[in-house]
């Protein structure tokens, strides 16, 4: 088994010599086999290894025994170990999640906190081949696409690695027996109380008995094919994103001309990527929600992603935005204005930066201020003689309705000087008669 694990590590570049690794250790056969295997590689690969155990507060004396067992093992093998006790049932109730999900969230929270504190390169967890098969069925029943049917990844960026993913539960238990490891067993894994346990205890045995005794190996091979498809789409989608997607303050967007030219599968993957880029992940995002976004055709309509993010189709763009972009302007921080005076000759060596303009200082009347638009505002866009209603100017630029009231305007005592990100005023432009320059920054 150790040769299989070494092959997995090398093929997927999970560990390199000299790495510092934090291992999640429950005391069960999977995590104990992982810890034991990496300890066998510790000296030859010059690894630094630490363990982490979370007492979930759910199984009374049995959980106390798990903690004591892990502590004894780590002391015997000179492995630093971090122990945490949590009331998972209470955390689940407070967060409105299942006990299973709350436990997983707490474990990963502590793993990442310890990794960061000790400066480790990665976090190793003990998912194996049977977990892959179970996850495949769970995601299949949820209506998942390629990403979900690829099941569990060998690496979850940026730090999670899974060296046992090509090893079966049967081989793990055989490894423990052959190496004198007497792991702890969580009796709840044999009870039909969690969704995953139902797949493990009922569905898979039924399929093996009724249809195919080798179903686990075949599903595992299928997930490997989906992993290859996933890698292709990740690379292709990244290229599409780099070419067409633009980020802005509070969201991300793509021009409709580019989006509508894509195939449906490309749209689906690109939307998921856009959401992940701003939200951090696409967990709990049903495929039907993505399809609804693709099918949305009316400008101004929106679809909620979660309680923080939404998707809106504008006249010329599709955008993923923070819901707060639609809230009334409250508790917002008004940008500060910075100004700098220059002579006309100095401007010859001056390179203008983002978020600033150069104007004729003598055209500025009174003090500068930053504000939102008001009814009746008029503007003289650079290159245009006379003035235009600000509302009409923004409509011509296809600025979405929700964003118009959020725009900051730089004004003097008489007029709008500048609409950052869009246009400065023609009435303050530098001409051949300009003597003094003013740089305005926000």
Annotated binding-site residue numbers for ATP: 26-31
Using the CB atoms, write b or e for 202-236: b if 16+ within 10 Å. Answer: eebeeeeeeeeeebbeebbebbeebbeebeebeee
Cα diameter, the chain:
91
Let me know: does 337 contact 364? Beta carbons within 8 Å: no
Contact of 404 with 328, CB cutoff 8 Å: no
Lateral strand order in the sheet of 436-441: 338-343, 436-441, 356-360
Cβ proximity of 126 and 31 under 8 Å: yes
What SS3 state is found at 49? strand
- Cβ pair 251, 406 in contact under 8 A: no
CA atoms of 280 and 209, how far apart (whole Å) = 41
CB 338 within 8 A of CB 402: no
Q: Is 344 exposed, middle or buried (0-12, 13-18, 19+ CB in 10 A)?
A: middle
How far apart CA 97 and CA 283 sit, in angstroms, is 14
Cα–Cα distance, 161 to 234 (Å, whole number):
19
Query: Which residue ranges make up the annotated binding site?
Result: 26-31
Whole-angstrom CA distances from 336 to 328, 331, 362, 415 are 21, 15, 21, 18
Distance CA 325, CA 312 (A): 11
Cβ contact 322:309 at 8 Å: yes
Angstrom distance (rounded) from CA 335 to CA 318: 27
Quote the CA–CA distance of 174 and 197 in Å, as a whole number. 22
Provide the token pair at 407. Answer: 């725009």
User: Rounded CA gap, 7 and 40, in Å?
Assistant: 15
């Amino acid at each position: 088994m150790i040769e299989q694990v070494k092959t997995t590590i090398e093929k997927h570049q999970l560990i390199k010599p000299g790495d510092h690794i934090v291992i999640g250790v429950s005391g069960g056969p999977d995590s104990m086999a992982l810890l034991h295997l990496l300890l066998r590689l510790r000296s030859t690969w010059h690894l630094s290894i630490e363990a982490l155990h979370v007492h979930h507060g759910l199984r009374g004396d049995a959980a106390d025994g798990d903690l004591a067992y892990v502590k004894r093992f780590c002391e015997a093998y000179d492995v630093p170990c971090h122990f945490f006790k949590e009331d998972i049932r209470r955390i689940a109730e407070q967060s409105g999640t299942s006990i299973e999900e709350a436990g997983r969230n707490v474990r990963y929270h502590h793993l990442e906190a310890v990794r960061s504190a000790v400066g480790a390169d990665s976090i190793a967890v003990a998912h194996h081949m049977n977990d892959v098969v179970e996850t495949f069925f769970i995601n299949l029943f949820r209506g998942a696409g390629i990403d979900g049917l690829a099941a569990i990844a060998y690496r979850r960026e940026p730090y999670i690695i899974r060296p046992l993913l090509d090893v079966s539960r049967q081989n793990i238990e055989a490894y423990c027996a052959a190496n004198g490891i007497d792991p702890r067993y969580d009796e709840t894994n044999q009870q039909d109380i969690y969704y995953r346990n139902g797949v493990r205890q009922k569905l898979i045995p039924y399929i093996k008995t009724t249809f195919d005794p080798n179903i686990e190996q075949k599903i595992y091979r299928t997930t490997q094919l989906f992993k290859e498809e996933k890698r292709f789409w990740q690379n292709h989608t990244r290229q599409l994103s780099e070419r067409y997607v633009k980020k802005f303050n509070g969201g991300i967007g793509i021009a409709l001309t580019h989006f509508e030219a894509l195939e449906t599968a490309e749209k689906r993957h690109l939307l998921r990527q856009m959401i992940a880029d701003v939200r951090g992940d696409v967990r709990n995002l049903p495929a039907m929600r993505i399809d609804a976004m693709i099918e949305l055709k009316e400008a101004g309509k929106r679809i909620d992603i979660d309680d923080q993010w939404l998707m809106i189709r504008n006249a010329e763009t599709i955008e993923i935005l923070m819901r707060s972009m639609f809230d009334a302007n409250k508790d917002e921080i008004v940008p500060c204005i910075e100004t700098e005076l220059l002579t006309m000759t100095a401007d010859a060596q001056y390179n203008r930066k983002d978020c600033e303009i150069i104007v004729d200082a003598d055209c500025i009347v009174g003090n500068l201020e930053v504000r939102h638009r008001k009814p009746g505002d008029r503007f003289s866009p650079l290159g245009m003689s006379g003035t235009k209603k600000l509302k009409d100017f923004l409509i011509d630029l296809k600025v979405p309705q929700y964003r118009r009231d959020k725009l900051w305007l730089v004004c003097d005592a008489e007029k709008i000087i500048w609409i950052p990100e869009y246009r400065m005023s023609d009435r303050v432009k530098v001409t051949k008669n300009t003597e003094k320059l003013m740089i305005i920054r926000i």
